[in-house]
Amino acid sequence: MMNKKIAVIKGDGIGPEIVTEAMKVLDKVAEKYGHKFDYTQLLMGGCSIDVNGVPLTDETIAECKASDAVLMGSIGGNTTTSPWYKLPADLRPEAGLLKIRKELGLFANLRPCLLYPQLSGACPLKEEISAKGFDMLIMRELTGGLYFGARKTEEVDGVMTAVDTLSYNEKEIRRIAVKAFEVAMKRRKKVTSVDKANVLDSSRLWRKIVTEVAADYPEVELEHMLVDNSAMQLVRDPAQFDVMVTENMFGDILSDEASMITGSIGMLPSASMNETKFGLYEPSGGSAPDIAGQDKANPIATILSAAMMLRYSFDMTEEADAVEAAVTKVLEEGYRTGDIMSEGCKPVSCSQMGTLIAERV
Ligand code: IPM
Ligand code: MG
């Protein structure tokens, strides 16, 4: 019996609906395995702007730090129509997300991408490729690089000029590399380090440090791959990848590409971790404002994120396995939300999907 304090950030758009379903599943886990989960609901993103004038308050940060883990939905709205996007950049919903990652030291973002055999019909790749299946984990550096470097826009000699800075030090690279090799040891023992070492200094340092770290993991095969080639290999032969480790922006882009080949971004969980077992768990997809409040969203990515929380933050392996097995079962039985619907399957709403999964835990 374990007692865990979970900070819950439902957020904007479909966030509240999908997190509610993940909590339904967690409640079932608590009941079945005799645990107690205490939830503290917090605001972040657009909903925090509406109430507090800022996307992230110090109270939300403090509450997260005082919790065992954070479960999050999604933040943000329609970037062309929502009033949140009339605000200065540092007051928009996304600024809250970047700030919470930095404040909580969440430098390692784990994005597992696997093709469920039941969903191979939804995979946009040719059948000869999808038939091989794939199961990879993208380990994205989350608190460095271009997204956190100094930036400015100014007029230089009468010409508007914008600068973003891409900087990494060896400590930042080493700690994410160590995480990647540790995870690879529990998987198929292969690490692909993605960089642009033929052009960028930051990538050359990246490659050097990752190679040094690899020496401590003789059982793990290390390969270096340029980011442009990686983008191509992801659609040419995704089965070749096990753990892919890369810097912040490359990881942002490649993880969206990887999500698409699984059939739907609504299937992909993610975990953002610091050096300890603390983490923030959120679906890889966005707030999907176009379908918000209609009980149409796919809650599976959020439910699988909750399973990652059980596994990585709470060491509840059996419980995490049970949630993942329940998801597979529901897919086997043919239940589908709209995004993964195909002929002959049974269409269900977001809340029905959550109930079906909870019942099978
Ligand atoms: C993601 C998102 C965010 C990011 C945005 C919303 C700032 O795209 O989590 O991948 O780029 O990190
Ligand atoms: Mg992204």
Model pLDDT for residues 77-113, shown as the tens digit of each residue: 999 999 999 999 999 999 999 999 999 999 999 999 9
Model pLDDT for residues 328-347, shown as the tens digit of each residue: 999 999 999 999 998 899 99
Answer yes or no: is pLDDT of 170 > 90.
Answer: yes
Identify the residues whose C-beta falls under 6 Å from ligand 1. Answer: 94, 97-98, 252
Which residues are known catalytic residues? 147, 196, 228, 252, 256
pLDDT at 150: 96
Task: Give nearest CA residue, ligand 1 atom 4.
Answer: 252
Model pLDDT for residues 197-248, shown as the tens digit of each residue: 999 999 999 999 999 999 999 999 999 999 999 999 999 999 999 999 999 9
87 close to 55: Cβ distance less than 8 angstroms: no
**What is the three-class DSSP state of 65?**
helix
Q: Alpha helix locations (H) across 198-279?
A: 201-214, 227-236, 248-260
Calculate how far, in angstroms, residue 158's C-alpha sits from the geometric centre of ligand 1: 33
Task: Give nearest CA residue, ligand 1 atom 1.
Answer: 252
pLDDT at 264: 85
d(CA 181, CA 211): 11
Q: What is the atom index within ligand 1 of the atom nearest the CA of 75?
A: 6
Beta strands in the chain (DSSP E): 3-11, 36-42, 69-74, 108-114, 135-141, 151-156, 159-164, 190-195, 221-226, 243-246, 269-273, 279-283, 335-336, 346-347
Task: Give nearest CA residue, ligand 1 atom 11.
Answer: 252
Tokens of 270: 């993610």
Which ligand lies nearest to the CA atom of residue 55 in the structure? 1
Calculate how far, in angstroms, residue 259's C-alpha sits from the geometric centre of ligand 2: 10
Calculate how far, in angstroms, residue 284's C-alpha sits from the geometric centre of ligand 2: 7
The predicted model gives 35-55 an average pLDDT of 98
Which ligand lies nearest to the CA atom of residue 142 in the structure? 1
Q: What percent of the chain has pLDDT over 70?
A: 100
Q: What is the pTM of this model?
A: 0.93
